[in-house]
Structure 1
Amino acid sequence: MAIVLTMFAMGLLLGFIGAGGSGFIIAILTVLFNIPIHTALGTSLTAMAFTSLSGAYSHFREGNTAVGVGLVVGIFGAIGSYIGSKIATVIPAGDLHWLTAGMLFLSSILLLVRLSLSKKAEETKTKEVKWNQPLTMIKAIILGIVAGILSGTFGIGATPFIQLGLLTMLGLTIRQSVGTTMLVILPIAIGGGTGYRQAGYLDWILLLEVLVGTMTGAYVGAKFTNLAPKSVLKVAMVLTPAVAALLLLIQ
């Protein structure tokens, strides 16, 4: 129950700011509950397959998803994530703590860049572009493999990396990048989770506890999002992975 209640509290925060929080899940499991880092990575990554499902469906219903390019990035992302999970299994636990923390700090920086691009795009009224071109498909494959390897190796959703790639490499709009990212994360989480399960780093009971807590908390927290100023939400989005990184570093 301690894990469930803690995950519920964290879900409230993550639902409130609209962040996936896989890095925070890893930090809480390792620092507060002494879960081995590899098991925390596998559990966090697998949990994303469930938590991103409803979001991906919702964005699809709203027309925010570039399905074709999302499937390409996602399929190759799943391959990359599976490879990344195998890479993680040979990295010593101590080194993995530092590397994952570094990736979370980088995520914070990329979130700042992403928010800046979003503001600029809103000001210039970015037009939707055609993405179904051979060169664009090659870029989608590269983006998928790179984002997948990062997700699988460090157990994070790599949302900032994916969104920036969709915006800058593939030319999607802000709205499309957000919706398509949810679709991309789904196969990435499945691919990486499969790799960790095969290596024996997936605790099904722990996964259930994490899902019950975070999904319930996120549902409640999301109802309060509109009550906060946008500036507060943006700061919270950037600080969330940075704080998770600090927690990992003190382990």
Structure 2
Amino acid sequence: MLFVSMLIMGMIIGFIGIGGAGITIALLTVGFLVPIHTALAVALSAMVFTTMSGAYSHFREGNVIPKTGAVLGISGMVGAFLGANVSNIIPSDILGKMSGSIMVLSAVLLYIKVYQPEWLNKHFPPRDGLLEGHKLYIYGSIAGCVNGLISGAFGIGAAAFIQLTLMIIFGVPVLYAIGTCMMVILPISIAGGMGYFLNGQLDLMIFIQTLVGQSVGAYLGAKLTRLAPRPILKFFMVAMSASGGLVMLLLY
């Protein structure tokens, strides 16, 4: 039953083009009563494989700023590993509500990015030109560590946080922000997943069913994306991201 559910979810994720960690955590905890720490471990570890192909594809297409991505990715690994260990000592009931709150905040940021780009550019104008020199390493280390901490502690990819950070602070154009974000998420998910694994929180059977189900489903769902009207895709991108957080806040 878990595999079938993840297969269906994978099709939805592939269809609308989101990471799906939040809704995965909600389904595992509320739908299948998986302990929250295990659900976070599974979601973050599965993200390693689901982002790997995407990051490689963006890199081959030249949609990545390697230097910026490397700085945020390496520092993000430190934050993610630390976040996984911090998460391990937070009580389950508190962690569930905190994760839900972060998911809702992520959905709000995604809504602003998708539906209110003019407001975003007016109040948080992107930096004019790429951030370089020693500021790149200082700001990158801080931003990467913070985003990694959020991802590791709450089991999400933090894509909305990372993309906005790249555009506003580091001056990365929108197209490159998407590819560079995937480059940053990959090492973060590896370090976070390793942190949960070393704490004994990763259930391999649940992980395998989740990974295989979502991977196959996402491959099938992605083939249908071009058939859907853009407004429908935008709506479900935000709705799916928000639903995971709301389920955690209301039902967990």
Q: Which runs of 5+ in 1 are unaligned?
A: none
Name 1:145's counterpart in structure 2. 145
Following superposition of structure 1 onto structure 2, how do residues 115-130 of structure 1 map, counting pairs within 5 Å?
115=114, 116-117=116-117, 129-130=129-130
**Which residue of structure 2 lines up, in the alignment, with residue 9 of structure 1?**
8
Matched to 1:248, the amino acid is M
Corresponding residue for 2:37?
A: 38
User: Root-mean-square deviation (CA), in Å?
Assistant: 1.7
CA contact (8 A) 2:15 2:223 kept: yes
Report the counterpart of residue 109 of structure 1 in structure 2: 108
Q: Report the Cα distance in structure 1 between the residues aligned to 2:182 and 2:88, rounded to whole angstroms.
A: 26
- Within 5 A, what are the aligned runs for 1:1-251? 2-115=1-114, 116-117=116-117, 129-249=129-249, 250-251=251-252
Distance of 1:143 and 1:127 partners within structure 2: 15
Normalised to the residue count of structure 2, the TM-score between the two structures is 0.93
Do the aligned residues in 1 keep the contact of 2:80 with 2:192 (CA within 8 Å)?
A: yes
**TM-aligned CA distance change 1:224 to 1:120, over 3 Å:** farther
Aligned-partner Cα distance in 1 for 2:117–2:174:
9
User: Would the aligned equivalents of 1:11 and 1:217 in 2 still touch at CA under 8 Å?
Assistant: yes
CA distance in 1, matches of 2:96, 2:243: 14
**Percent identity (aligned):** 43
Whole-angstrom distance in 2 between the partners of 1:231 and 1:120: 19
1:241 to partner: Cα distance: 1.8
Instruction: For 1:118 and 1:167, locate their aligned partners in 2 and report how far apart those are by CA, in whole Å.
Output: 14
Deviation at 1:111, TM superposition (A): 0.4
Deviations 1:17-56 (A, max 9, x none): 1000101110101111110000000111011111100000
Q: CA deviation at 1:128?
A: 8.0
- 1:236 Cα offset (Å): 0.9
Partner SS, residue 43 of structure 1: helix
Contact kept, 8 Å, 2:23 with 2:240, in 1: the verdict is: yes
**Any conservation in 2 of the 1:128–1:173 contact (CA below 8 Å)?**
no
Closer, same or farther: CA 134–201 of 1 in aligned 2, 3 Å: same
Structure 2: gaps of 5 or more residues: none
Report how many aligned residue pairs link the two structures: 246
Q: Which moved more, 1:87-96 or 1:107-116?
A: 107-116
Moved more, 105-114 or 158-167: 105-114
Q: Secondary structure at the match of 1:172?
A: coil
2:83 and 2:150 in contact (8 A); partners too: yes
